[in-house]
Amino acid sequence: MSLLLKISIGFVLGIVFGFVVGPMAAENVALKDYVMPLLDVVGRIFLTLLKMLIVPLVFSTIVVGAASVGDPRSLGRIGIKTLVLYLVTTAVAIVIGLALGNLIQPGVGMNIAGAAGKAQEGKPLLEVFLDIFPSNPLDSLVKANMLQIIVFALFFGVASLFAGEKGKRVIGAFDAIAEVMYSITHMIMNLAPYGVFSLIAITAAKYGLSILAPFAKVIAAVYLGCILHAVIVYSGLIVVFCKKSPLWYFRGVQEASITAFVTRSSSATLPITIASVQDNLGVSESVSSFVLPLGATINMDGTALYQGVCALFVAQAFGIDLSIGAQVGIILTATLASIGTAGVPGAGLIMLTLVLTSAGLPIEGAGLVAGIDAILDAARTSLNVTGDTAVAAAVAASEGQLRETKTAKL
């Protein structure tokens, strides 16, 4: 049985298990004290193992990626293409989010005065920008500050190109480290079916079907938006740049999309994203090792779309009219906010406070959304990761760095 089939079975069984067993767990001691905690442990071990890979994998692959471009000018060219595609797709995502928020009107008629909770405040945008420069790169590595790691790794990789023979030796060493990290990734992926089963079972048990009802429209808007964005924008990129069928593409990246859905972390999914894009889509190592870690850190189409929907939801719920001007402002702030969103579970909710504040909306609205945030986070993270893969494929195709692949398996 292929790994993908096992992961899919784990996913479906996990949902069914969670919905069926969740309600029974309240009364049944064995379920409550043993089965659910065991699932929690399995899920957490899987997540931790994925996280274990991130810092060494990202650092070594970016150094090698930056250095393997050979000519620093072509790194600049790939960099610019990547950034433009990331920004444009993100802006389109927010527009889709706002459009669906206006259409579905999730917050109209809600009485939330008593339900408003407290929300944590986001960082000012200038701080977010200044924070990408590391003052101590070792500290950035220890704290897994991804943007700082990327900046330092880019310097390191490019500088080693200028350092002659010695630089080559350093790159060789990092190349070997990256190879070892990939092989650890493949080992850990064998645990994915069990990890996925446990994580999704716990979420389904916790939220149940009935709890979804009050916020069903927000959930529907975010999920529908994510599907529309993937089908229209990513299919478009694949057809235009790669001249391939969208089905080929979605099949190739589905492990990454599903893993993102259950881990709710772009960073944790990164090893799988890189493996899928290289193995199944045939994107070269030099493009994927640059475009994907950067994307996992700054490209958050799903988060941006979610912020569009939620801003309207909060405005409607509090009876505040959002002008077109205010909605254009949301496009700008949500784009920047999504760049500053860390690829970890729930980060988008914190950035939502920033978007709400700059749109003049009550940040208590974020407290309201918090109750269903995990469900929204699953969809948006999946879109975040899928978006990175589409841009990686498009950039690779435009650079002539997309090779033919035979089978779509990890």
* Residue ranges in contact with ligand ASP by CB under 6 A: 264-266, 300, 303, 341, 343-348, 377, 380-381, 384
- Its sign, for the CA torsion 278, 407, 398, 306, is negative
3-state secondary structure of 402: strand
**Cβ closest to ligand ASP, residue 61 vs residue 297:** 297
Minimum distance of ligand ASP from residue 90's CB (angstroms): 12
DSSP count for the chain of H helices, then E strands: 19, 0
* Structure-token pair, residue 373: 């945030």
Quick check: 346 and 193 in contact, CB under 8 A? no
**Cβ closest to ligand ASP, residue 259 vs residue 278:** 259
CA 164 to chain centre: 37
Residue number, nearest CB to ligand ASP: 348
**Cβ closest to ligand ASP, residue 193 vs residue 343:** 343
Taking each helix axis from N to C terminus, what angle separates 216-229 and 301-317, rounded to the nearest 10 degrees?
A: 150
**Cβ closest to ligand ASP, residue 195 vs residue 343:** 343
The Cα 17–Cα 21 span in angstroms is 6
**Cβ closest to ligand ASP, residue 282 vs residue 340:** 340
Minimum distance of ligand ASP from residue 344's CB (angstroms): 6
Minimum distance of ligand ASP from residue 314's CB (angstroms): 16
Minimum distance of ligand ASP from residue 299's CB (angstroms): 9
**Cβ closest to ligand ASP, residue 67 vs residue 229:** 229
Quick check: 53 and 273 in contact, CB under 8 A? no
CA 82 to chain centre: 16
Minimum distance of ligand ASP from residue 343's CB (angstroms): 4
* Structure-token pair, residue 147: 């943007």
Length of the chain: 410
Query: Cα–Cα distances in Å, from 34 out to 19, 25, 404?
Result: 17, 10, 48
Minimum distance of ligand ASP from residue 62's CB (angstroms): 18
Minimum distance of ligand ASP from residue 340's CB (angstroms): 11
Quick check: 202 and 359 in contact, CB under 8 A? no
Residues 305-337: b if buried by 16+ CB within 10 A, e if exposed: bbbbbbbbbbbbbbebebeeebbebbbebbbbb
Minimum distance of ligand ASP from residue 354's CB (angstroms): 12
* Structure-token pair, residue 244: 């391939």
**Cβ closest to ligand ASP, residue 339 vs residue 344:** 344
**Cβ closest to ligand ASP, residue 36 vs residue 298:** 298
* Structure-token pair, residue 358: 């700059």
